[in-house]
Amino acid sequence: MKRAASNHASMVVAIAACSCLIPAARAEDSSTLTSLTVERAREVIAAKPRVVLHELDGGFVSFDALTSLSPEVAEVLVAFEGQLSFKGLTELSPETAAALAKHKPVGGFGYADLRLNGLKSISAAAAEALATHQGKVLLYGLEKLDSMPLAKKLAAQWGELRLGITDLSPEIAAELAKNAGVAEDKTRPGVIHRRADRAPSVLRLDNLRSLSPETAEALSKHSGVLVLNGLVSLDPPLATSLAKRTGTLVLNGLPSLSTEAAVALAEFSGELVLKGITELPPDAAAALAKHKGRLHLTGLTAISPETRAALQSHANVLLPRSLAASP
């Protein structure tokens, strides 16, 4: 009987210890809210359970079902000391942008303070207001960027800089190319080196279908990982410009590569990722074989004896497993 009583007591203690999780499960899911008043915003922020993964992480709150956000409500929400997500917003007024810009950056490394990934466009006034934000803002869906203040703010952010822009001017490209990744974060006062491994910048522009020679030349100044998976063709002059870079060049949207473009890319000294290429003529393969960095050709579906022989002179080429071994 004493053992049974002891077991029962242990169960009570365990249940009591876990009871702190119950309010979080019953709390209203803010991500489903389609409208929000000032009063309701105060209630949600006050009652919101915070999942803290780091001592400097204030938590995460999603308002992704909201399709509009007034400046007054934004003023309330920015008091939350954690990450805020507004994926459902497709428009942002200058007044609301100015309010959101007051949101304080999360202290811990690795967090996006504001997520506005539903925005496809932003006015010059709203962009200028948002550019005053201290911390990291995500704009994955932004298709057009012509605001120099916002471009400078984005270029100063840590980590991967990913944008949905479909047209990139040389001036904006030159600013984005200054992104230094996670080694230095100029958006958080007093914070310099965030990671000991000094991970490189990652500039991801997957929605670009074409580049002007001037824009390609501007991007050649970027050092780190440049991802341009939206490109489906590459003229030799553009390849020549991109080959001036240092770091890694990812062009997985290219289904093929001309010999002339291959000759130009072979001058690139860094890691070259061409996983979209399914067939490679021997002449293009012979040109790429002169490339000195790691070469990814894991998308090849067939390889001729001539192409295989040409690639064998490359010191670090990655092929599909099914094609890697000699027949």
Residue-number span of the structural domain to which 36 is assigned:
27-142
Look at the alpha carbons of 226, 228, 233, 235 in this order and tell me if their dihedral is positive or negative: negative
Report d(CA 215, CA 2) in Å as an integer.
Answer: 79
Residue 317 CB contacts under 8 Å (≥ 6 apart), including other chains? 289, 294, 295, 297, 311
Cβ–Cβ < 8 Å for 86, 78: no
Cβ–Cβ < 8 Å for 195, 109: yes
Domain-embedded: residue 238? no
**What secondary structure does DSSP assign to 154-165, as a single string?**
HHTSSSEEEB--
Domain-embedded: residue 31? yes
Q: What is the pLDDT along the chain (327 residues), one digit of tens a residue?
A: 444 444 444 433 333 333 333 333 334 688 999 999 999 999 988 876 554 444 445 688 899 999 999 999 999 999 998 889 999 999 999 999 999 999 988 766 667 899 999 999 999 999 999 999 988 899 999 999 999 999 999 998 877 899 999 999 999 999 999 987 655 555 566 655 444 555 578 999 999 999 999 999 999 999 889 999 999 999 999 999 999 999 999 999 999 999 999 999 999 999 999 999 999 999 999 999 999 999 999 999 999 999 999 999 999 999 998 886 655
Domain-embedded: residue 285? no
Domain-embedded: residue 58? yes
Report d(CA 36, CA 53) in Å as an integer.
Answer: 27
Domain-embedded: residue 274? no
The first and second tokens of residue 126, run together, are 């709203």
Domain-embedded: residue 289? no
Report d(CA 249, CA 253) in Å as an integer.
Answer: 12
Domain-embedded: residue 37? yes
Report d(CA 134, CA 113) in Å as an integer.
Answer: 9
* Nearest of 144, 225, 123 to residue 182 by alpha carbon: 225
Cβ–Cβ < 8 Å for 140, 149: no
Domain-embedded: residue 72? yes
Give how many domains the chain has, as a whole number: 1
Q: What is the β-pairing status of strands 295-296 and 271-273?
A: parallel
pTM across the whole model? 0.84
* Nearest of 326, 284, 160 to residue 272 by alpha carbon: 284
